[in-house]
């Protein structure tokens, strides 16, 4: 048995675990990350692609990624499409903020590179992970490496960032779990085609929901609502394009640019929260503690928001020996989590068709969409939630997002890409 002593042991080397390890490194705190998958396997798993303004800020300001500003695409709004007509929700005009299209796989690559660059200790392809003694001041992680060697890591704190199928979560003895299942799923495709729209289109039609997203000039990401029991193999390319086009048809003649389909996946929907997010010296982060349906792209952003709070709390607990700081983690993280749960649920139920929906439900749903696009207050709620609620400490962000529409337009120059790139270069 090889024994390693470190300050923070992190189970899970996805974006949450690696971002936390990076932030701790910046704060002068050592960590060891253990991950069951290989780096290559994580890099090849396609996930959502939208980063909130403060997620971009965190990546850039912490020195984890400058590529997000070079290779990512700033989106200043989305289209909500219903009744065959597109309605623009202009984030910049409404709240002076943007989002960035930058796929989760790229975030992972940047974080893994940053860990290698900074000499971080990340151990991929381990098995048999178990977490020990979380209610003592010397918790640990045991695992077997790819060659069969046995290892133990002893630390001050263990963080469970091991995704939605978390095993560390089970150690939160007094946890309460909140679930919601949905009667639909998303059928996601990656295809070789030029972009059909320059920014995201969230569409609701009598056939169901569709989302037009992008990846590069020649590869696109799209989704449509499907039955959760459907099999990707039952969908030919022609059937997929017919479904997507039907979801997007309208009087403006919107036409998808089609091409070879490179990947098909069915994504189940679930809302889930585990409370509390801490038990003794074990703290949960990201999907290990909560999952949201993908409508609104909150999953990765919530994970990054968790670890931003967690890094700060751990810095106080470990470097300044203020153990009471750990008590702040659950309430601070959960306040954002439940807002994001509501937003993701709301976007989902507003835009998807349920087989059980009555005519009344259908008309009410259209009334809801009209209320959002037809009212500045309605649109602003969506814009504020979609671009991400500002953290109280970021004063420039708050003043930009809380300003009136008129002020927001002058704040526009100072916000989004210029603020993010400006702060990155220290201005």
User: Active-site residue numbers?
Assistant: 75, 202, 294, 298, 386
Burial environment of residue 7 by CB neighbours within 10 A (0 to 12, 13 to 18, 19 or more): middle
d(CA 160, CA 168): 6
Q: How far is CA 134 from CA 36, 208, 302, 333, in A?
A: 20, 46, 24, 20
Packing angle, helices 53-61 and 299-314, rounded to 10:
50
3-state secondary structure of 131: strand
Residue among 139, 140, 286, 294 that touches ligand PHB (CB under 6 A): 294
The DSSP letter of residue 211 is E
Is 297 among the residues that bind ligand PHB (CB under 6 A)? yes
Q: Percent helix, strand, coil in the chain (nearest 5)?
A: 40, 25, 30
Q: Is 296 in the site for ligand PHB (CB under 6 A)?
A: yes
Q: Do the beta carbons of residue 230 and residue 184 sit within 8 Å? A: no
| Residues in 189-228 that interact with ligand PHB by CB under 6 A | 200, 211, 213, 221
- Mention every residue, 6+ apart, whose C-beta is less than 8 A from residue 247: 203, 205, 207, 208, 209, 210, 224, 225
Q: 134 or 337: whose CB is closer to ligand PHB? A: 337
Task: Kindly tell me which of 276 and 293 has the beta carbon lying closer to ligand PHB.
Answer: 293
Footprint of ligand PHB on residues 126-145 (CB under 6 A)?
A: none
Give the closest residue to 403 by CA, choosing from 96, 54, 17: 96
Number of residues that bind ligand PHB (CB under 6 A): 11
Closer residue to ligand PHB (CB): 90 or 125: 90
Instruction: Specify whether the CB–CB gap between 403 and 411 falls below 8 A.
Output: yes
| Window 87-116: contact mask with ligand PHB (x via CB under 6 A) | ------------------------------
User: In the complex with ligand PHB, which residue's Cβ is closer, 93 or 295?
Assistant: 295
Is residue 348 a contact residue for ligand PHB (CB under 6 A)?
Answer: no
Question: From the CB of 294, what's the least distance to ligand PHB, in Å?
Answer: 4
- From the list 80-88, 117-125, 291-299, 408-416, the region that binds ligand PHB by CB under 6 A is 291-299
14 secondary structure, DSSP code: S
The DSSP letter of residue 258 is: P
For ligand PHB, the closer of residues 124 and 389 by Cβ is 389
| Shortest separation between residue 132's beta carbon and ligand PHB, angstroms | 37
| Beta sheet of 73-75, edge-to-edge order | 50-51, 99-101, 73-75
Site string for ligand PHB, 251-290 (x = CB under 6 A): ----------------------------------------
The residue among 276 and 299 lying less far from ligand PHB, judged by its C-beta, is 299
Residue 125 CB, shortest distance to ligand PHB, in Å, is: 27
Shortest distance, CB of residue 347 to ligand PHB, whole angstroms?
A: 8
Residues 33-62 that bind ligand PHB (CB under 6 A): 48-50
209 beta partners: 204
Distance CA 386, CA 232 (A): 29
Note the Cα 37 to chain centre separation in Å. 19
Dist. CA 291–CA 288, nearest whole Å:
8
Point out which span in 64-72, 152-160, 273-281, 293-301 binds ligand PHB (CB under 6 A): 293-301
For ligand PHB, which is the closer residue by CB, 49 or 139? Answer: 49
DSSP notation for 382-423: HHHHHH-PPPTT-HHHHHHHHS-HHHHHHHHHHSHHHHHHHH
Residues 370-389 that bind ligand PHB (CB under 6 A): none
Q: Rounded to whole angstroms, what are the CA distances from 58 to 25, 233, 261, 369?
A: 14, 39, 34, 32
Tell me the three state secondary structure of residue 157: strand
Q: Is 72 in the site for ligand PHB (CB under 6 A)?
A: no
332 contributes a contact to ligand PHB by CB under 6 A: no
Q: How far is the CB of 326 from ligand PHB (least distance, A)?
A: 32
Q: Which is nearer to ligand PHB, 26 or 219 (CB)?
A: 219
Least distance from ligand PHB to the Cβ atom of residue 200, Å: 6
| Shortest distance in whole angstroms from residue 300 CB to ligand PHB | 10
User: Which positions touch ligand PHB (CB under 6 A)?
Assistant: 48-50, 200, 211, 213, 221, 294-297
């Amino acid at each position: 048995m090889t024994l390693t002593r470190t300050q923070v042991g992190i189970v899970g080397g996805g974006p949450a675990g690696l971002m936390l390890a990076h932030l701790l490194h910046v704060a002068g705190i050592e960590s060891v990350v253990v991950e069951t998958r290989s780096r290559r396997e994580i890099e090849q798993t396609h996930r959502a692609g939208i980063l909130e303004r403060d997620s971009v800020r965190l990546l850039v300001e912490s020195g984890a990624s400058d590529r997000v500003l070079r290779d990512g695409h700033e989106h200043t709004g989305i289209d909500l499409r219903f009744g065959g007509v597109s309605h623009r929700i202009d984030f910049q005009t409404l709240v002076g903020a943007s989002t960035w299209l930058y796929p989760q796989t790229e975030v992972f690559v940047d974080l893994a590179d940053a860990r290698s660059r900074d000499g971080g200790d990340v151990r991929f392809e381990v098995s048999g992970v178990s977490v020990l003694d979380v209610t003592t001041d010397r918790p640990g992680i045991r695992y077997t490496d790819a060659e069969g060697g046995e290892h133990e890591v002893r630390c001050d704190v263990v963080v469970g960032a091991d995704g939605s199928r978390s095993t560390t979560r089970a150690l939160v003895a007094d946890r309460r779990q909140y679930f919601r299942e949905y009667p639909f799923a998303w059928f996601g495709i990656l295809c070789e085609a030029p972009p059909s729209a320059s920014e995201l289109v969230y569409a609701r039609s009598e056939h169901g929901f569709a989302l037009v997203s992008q990846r590069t000039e020649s590869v696109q990401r799209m989704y449509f609502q499907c039955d959760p029991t459907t099999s990707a193999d039952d969908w030919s390319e022609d059937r997929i394009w017919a479904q997507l086009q039907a979801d997007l048809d309208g009087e403006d003649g919107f036409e998808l640019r089609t091409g070879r389909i490179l990947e098909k996946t069915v994504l189940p929907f679930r809302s889930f929260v585990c409370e509390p997010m801490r038990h003794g010296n074990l703290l949960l982060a990201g999907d290990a503690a909560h999952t949201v349906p993908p409508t609104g792209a909150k999953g990765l952003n919530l994970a990054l928001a968790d670890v931003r709070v967690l890094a700060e709390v751990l810095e106080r607990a470990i470097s300044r020996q203020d153990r009471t700081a750990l008590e702040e983690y659950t309430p601070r993280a959960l306040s954002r989590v439940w807002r994001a749960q509501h937003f993701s649920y709301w976007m989902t139920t507003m835009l998807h068709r349920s087989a059980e929906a009555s005519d009344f439900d259908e008309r009410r749903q259209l009334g809801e969409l009209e209320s959002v696009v037809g009212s500045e207050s309605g649109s602003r709620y969506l814009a504020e939630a979609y671009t991400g609620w500002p953290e109280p400490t970021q004063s420039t962000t708050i003043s930009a997002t809380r300003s009136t529409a008129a002020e927001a337009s002058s704040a526009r120059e100072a916000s989004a890409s210029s603020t993010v790139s400006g702060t990155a270069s220290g201005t």
